[in-house]
Amino acid sequence: MGFEYFIAKRIYFSKEGDRQATPPVVRIAMVGIALGLAVMILSVAIVIGFKKEIRNKVIGFGSHIQITNFDNNASYESTPIAVSDTLLDHLKSFPGITHVEAFATKPGILKTDTDFQGIVLKGVDENYDWTFFRNNLKEGELFTLPADKASTDVLISRYLANLLGLKVGDSFLTYFVQDEVRARKFRITGIYETGFVDYDKLFVVADIRQIRRL
């Protein structure tokens, strides 16, 4: 039992004079436990923060709740629904709802003189809440929607701008494949960057009237 007794004496708290002394091995163990707990707390905080950031970006591109046509279509071109003033008033009066806005999406092919890229045109109307894109706008400005005609102004992401060599003020053609292929020319008024590449590489924000006409 000599070896076991030797180890126990080393680990056990001993006394030096009138005070109790803590052996180095116990101090090291305490520091190790404290560091382990600190790392675990930090890891949990990072994961929660990352999850919250991703959630906010997804909501920023869409919303907390979306009302769409009930079908099995999983593409970015869903069947539109009829939105009446009665429906909007009912939604706005529902507890917990602070804002209601219309939107539409349509996939297309963005083409420049040298390159092309698949994109999703997201149409918004005059009631759109620009807070998310205003906070993530890097160049240019947000476009305004005139009352008398459909606007050709758009916002694109910095990812698409760098990929296709575009800048604020440039124009480009977008082709939409349907029964009859149609093309629309748009002008860039602003460039945004959210850091969420899965969405940045897809969405171009435009006037919803452009999509309705298509």
Structure confidence at residue 190 (pLDDT):
94
Cα 190 from Cα 140, distance rounded (Å): 4
Contacts of 34 (CB under 8 A, 6+ apart): none
Structure confidence at residue 67 (pLDDT):
85
Which pair of tokens denotes residue 37? 């707990």
Q: What DSSP letter does each residue of 162-188 carry, written as one string?
A: HHHT--TT-EEEEEE-SSS-EEEEEEE
Structure confidence at residue 21 (pLDDT):
54
- pLDDT tens-digit series, residues 55-89: 877 787 788 888 888 877 777 777 888 888 888 88
Cα 209 from Cα 145, distance rounded (Å): 10
Structure confidence at residue 8 (pLDDT):
64
Structure confidence at residue 158 (pLDDT):
94
- pLDDT tens-digit series, residues 136-156: 999 999 998 988 889 999 999
Structure confidence at residue 168 (pLDDT):
93
Residues in the chain: 214
Which pair of tokens denotes residue 65? 């709740």
> For the chain, which residues score pLDDT lower than 50?
none
Cα 88 from Cα 31, distance rounded (Å): 60
Q: What global pTM score does this model have?
A: 0.72
